[in-house]
Amino acid sequence: MVTTYAVTQALRGGIVSPARVGAVINRNVGALRSGPAYWMVLFSGFFEPVLYLLSIGIGVGALVGDLTLKDGQVITYAAFVAPAMLAVSAMSGALAETTFNFFFKFKYVKTYDAMLATPLRPAEIAAGELLWAMIRGSLYTGAFLIVMVAMGLTSAGWALLAFPATWLVGLAFGAVGMAASTYIRGWQDFDLISAGQFAMFLFSGTFSPVQDYPPAVEVLIAVTPLYHAVELIRGITTGSLGWAMLGHVLYLIVMMALGLYVASRRLTTVLCR
Amino acid sequence: MIYARGLVKRFGEFTAVDGIDLEVAPGEAFGFLGPNGAGKSSTMRMIGCVSRPTAGELRILDMDPVREGPAIRGRLGVCPQTDNLDPDLTVFENLTTYARYFGIPRPEARRRAAELLEFVQLTEKSGSTVDPLSGGMKRRLSIARAMINEPDLVLLDEPTTGLDPQARHLLWERLFRLKQRGVTLVLTTHYMDEAEQLCDRLVVMDAGKIVAEGSPRHLIETHSTREVVELRFGDEPPAAYVEKLAGIGQRLDPLPDRLLLYSDDGDGAVDEVHRRGFTPSSVLVRRATLEDVFLILTGRTLVD
Amino acid sequence: MGTLAVLERALVSYKRLWQASVFSSFILPVLFVISIGIGVGGYVGDVDGVSYLDWIVPGVLASTAFQMAVGESTFPVLGDFKWVKGYHAMRATPVGIGDMVAGYQLYIAFRVIIASVVFLGVSAAFGAIHSPWVVVTPFVCALLGVAVSAPTSAFSASIENDSYFALLFRFVVIPSTLFAGVFFPVSQLPALLRPLAYASPLWHAVELCRSATLGVAPPWPAVAHVAYLLLWAVLGALLAVRAFRRRLSD
């Protein structure tokens, strides 16, 4: 729904043509079909969070036993880790497509140079790439939710509600990723991005509740985005809704809006120089 | 330095080198001239001991390239057709790390690297990485790298292909200096001006075979006339004039855009063309080159 | 001599680019220990009679070596054949194919040893080291490094398209890291899957490192673990020499 909002806003502003955005997505689908192992690579992206879930959630979970949430609900460790893996998967899918792949296409393959020689506009390229990231990301998150339901880590109803939440997470990270990639100078900056991504992956309440950390660290974590994504999705899949979740939603919406604003302002400068 | 008899290289069904004989003497600058795909590079790779001959006899520096490859390579300098410099290293480090492959002690490697950078006029680029260098600079660095082990024999595969005219002349001048120092050079080229500039002796290769051998002068004198007239006509294709101009000069070769007229007296031949009542849109009288020799020998041009 | 020259070239390159790998070689493993070892460890009682932190440190040590060794022999090796053509440059010199493989494996061993020593220093500060046998772990890690890097080099030398690496990581490297006894005991795996963990060289190195840092006996005789890793290293090196020769011939 958030996407629909973002897209209609853009349409009303007369920035983008749906057909031309579609053309950008179409190119990505075409590129997928060409590479020999590419389908396999795309397909295999789904396994990574599942493997983490099995190893840490089930394997380490057997050592941990059950966890008691803030609201007193007692859940298995796997049910605690699974929504975090889902949020991470939504984040990394969106970031991979909007930072690494975007930069690669922009700098080396010169895909966009070719596109910009046609009636396509920078904003349409950005919207196309972002939507493509969403499509690809939701294939992974959707499949992961099915796994969660099958393993009894959430109910089908909560999973249906969690699905759009993963879209919000993806859009928020995708928009910021796109804004960030307009500032990227070279490959060395990707080391920074992946370092930040990994630090968030390890400490955003993914594997253990953030309340365990010293208060100062807890505040620091509460500033970073993955924490809000994890808390939002965990709240939904464990069925413990609360007013705090509105705060997480708000955080992600602001993040997305800021990302889109910066990206749309910077893209023309970067692409058309 | 090099001795080959009946040398053959096959890749599956395809015969790249089809039974060639050659000898290269110390201090000589020897060239392989021929179009792309003539078998020059395959021959060079066999001489560089990185590719096994399929058949025939080959001796390099009086050693067997199959059994004594490392010993031979230790005395060769190889400048490959496409530069394979290390982009992570500086210009200077490219030379010193390469020197270590030959077991040259570090201080000696540094001394030679500095000296060679001076020789190829890259001293001020010493601390730069390879990427920002121009094509000509990279090629000069490759040549410096090939010299790091003070080789007895230097192999240069298409040394100036892809370079602009100025860079080519600078490179030729450096290679000429090497020749003066008595280094044996073996090079491949599909540029006749390069072969004429650098080679004491050369073989012309086509389709894996040697079709002629000798000094540039000798090849031209044996196979061509002293001068060549290039005639262009506005109205009809050059081939149409072959019959009309028959009998002028020793030979007529129609190319798609011009007609070549071989004659020891170019100006006399042009007068004869006019006397027959033809007025070409342009006339050029020039000295014969190896390009002409190649055309006469194979019926094809070197560069298409 | 040729082997050392190949090692030297890799080291000169590393001297220039080492900053790029600081995070993955030195910082990441420590973060892992803090997040899982201390964070999750707070909810785990004892494992095999020791605290979870003590139990996981040797696992992370070996798995860092494992990932580093595989990573360093994927893109760098393929790139050296395909784009840089560094091996082609070596081929024109007295350096032999055995030198190319051996020199690079020495470099991997060097990288792994440095990373292990730094990680052990940090782990000691966390109080996770309990036996003087710890001094052998960098060498165990180096052996593991070669055991996985040699066959990976062979693989990298025989492919054209780098998208196979994504598959290698997702289907081999990540599953090994997650299920070869790094985070939880292999005995917890379903009986059907256990042989896969035993087949992984990582498991053998993890068990050797764990017995060394805790000062207990490994599950198999130490010599059997070492022999298994040596087998991988030797077979891998032979495969690599074959793949390099094939790639560089004609």
The percent of residues in chain C predicted with pLDDT above 90, rounded, is 72
| Model ipTM value | 0.88
What pTM value is reported for the model?
Answer: 0.85
Whether C90 sits inside 8 A of B11 (CB atoms) is no
Domain locations in chain C as residue ranges? 2-13+22-248
B172-211 pLDDT, tens digit per residue, is 888 888 888 889 999 998 787 888 888 999 998 888 999 8
CB within 8 Å of A68: residues ≥ 6 apart: A74
Position A23 scores a pLDDT of 65
Is A174 within 8 Å of A262 (Cβ atoms)? no
- Rounded distance between C-alpha atoms, residue B263 and residue A236, angstroms: 94
Is B283 within 8 Å of B229 (Cβ atoms)? yes
Question: Which chain A positions have a beta carbon within 8 Å of C166's beta carbon?
Answer: 37, 41, 44
- Rounded distance between C-alpha atoms, residue B184 and residue B290, angstroms: 22
How much is the CA Rg of chain A, to the nearest whole Å? Answer: 19
Among C113, C103, C114, C107, smallest CA distance to C140 is for C113
Specify whether the backbone of B55 is left (phi greater than 0), alpha (psi in -120 to 50) or beta. Answer: beta
Q: Which residue of B has its CA nearest to C8?
A: B97
Position A29 scores a pLDDT of 62
Q: Is B135 on the interface with C (CB under 8 A)?
A: no
> Lowest mean pLDDT: which of A61-65, B206-210, B236-240, C243-247?
B236-240
C24-66 pLDDT, tens digit per residue, is 888 889 998 999 988 898 888 888 889 999 999 999 999 999 9
Is B95 within 8 Å of B148 (Cβ atoms)? yes
Q: Which helix (H) or strand (E) holds C198?
A: helix C194-199
List of chains touching B (3+ CB pairs within 8 A): C
CA angle A121, A123, A126 (to 5 degrees): 115
Q: Six-digit token pair at A139?
A: 């294939």
- Rounded distance between C-alpha atoms, residue A154 and residue A150, angstroms: 9
Q: Does C150 have pLDDT greater than 90?
A: yes
Identify residues of C whose CB sits under 8 angstroms from chain B CBs. Answer: 1-2, 4-6, 8-9, 12-13, 16-17, 84-86, 88-96, 248-250
Map residue C17 onto helix, strand or coil.
Answer: helix
Position A8 scores a pLDDT of 35
DSSP string, A130-177: HHHHHHHHHHHHHHHHHHHHHTTSS-HHHHHHHHHHHHHHHHHHHHHH
> Lowest mean pLDDT: which of A37-46, A53-62, A80-89, A223-232?
A37-46
Q: Write down the mean pLDDT value for chain A.
A: 81
Whether A212 sits inside 8 A of C175 (CB atoms) is no
Position C114 scores a pLDDT of 95
Residue with tokens 């992600």: A252
Q: CA of B256, closest CA in chain C: separation in Å?
A: 36
Q: Which residue of A has its CA nearest to C51?
A: A63
A103-146 pLDDT, tens digit per residue, is 777 766 666 666 667 666 777 777 888 888 888 888 889 999 99
Task: Kindly list the structural domains of chain B, giving each domain's residue range(s) and its CATH number in brackets, ordered by start.
Answer: 2-215 (3.40.50.300), 225-287 (3.30.70.980)
CB pairs under 8 A between A and C: 95
Among C27, C14, C174, C26, smallest CA distance to C103 is for C14
Q: CA of C166, closest CA in chain A: separation in Å?
A: 6
Would you tell me the crossing angle of helices A122-150 and A156-181 to the nearest 10 degrees? 150
Position C97 scores a pLDDT of 94
Q: Which of B76, B97, B143 to mutate to test the interface with C (most CBs of C within 10 A)?
A: B97
Q: Does A1 have pLDDT greater than 50?
A: no
Q: Between residues 46 and 85 of chain B, which touch chain C (CB distance below 8 Å)?
A: 48, 50-52, 70-71, 73-74, 76, 78, 80, 82, 84-85
Q: CA of C176, closest CA in chain A: separation in Å?
A: 10
Among C112, C150, C128, smallest CA distance to C231 is for C150
- Rounded distance between C-alpha atoms, residue C160 and residue C151, angstroms: 16
- Rounded distance between C-alpha atoms, residue B163 and residue B185, angstroms: 20
Whether B88 sits inside 8 A of C13 (CB atoms) is yes
Would you tell me the crossing angle of helices C97-125 and C2-17 to the nearest 10 degrees? 50
Q: CB neighbours (10 Å) of residue A188?
A: 11
pLDDT band of residue A191 (cuts 50, 70, 90) is: confident
Q: Is B touching A (3+ C-beta pairs, cut-off 8 A)?
A: no
For the CA atoms of B216, B222, B225, B228, the dihedral, rounded to the nearest 10 degrees, stands at -30
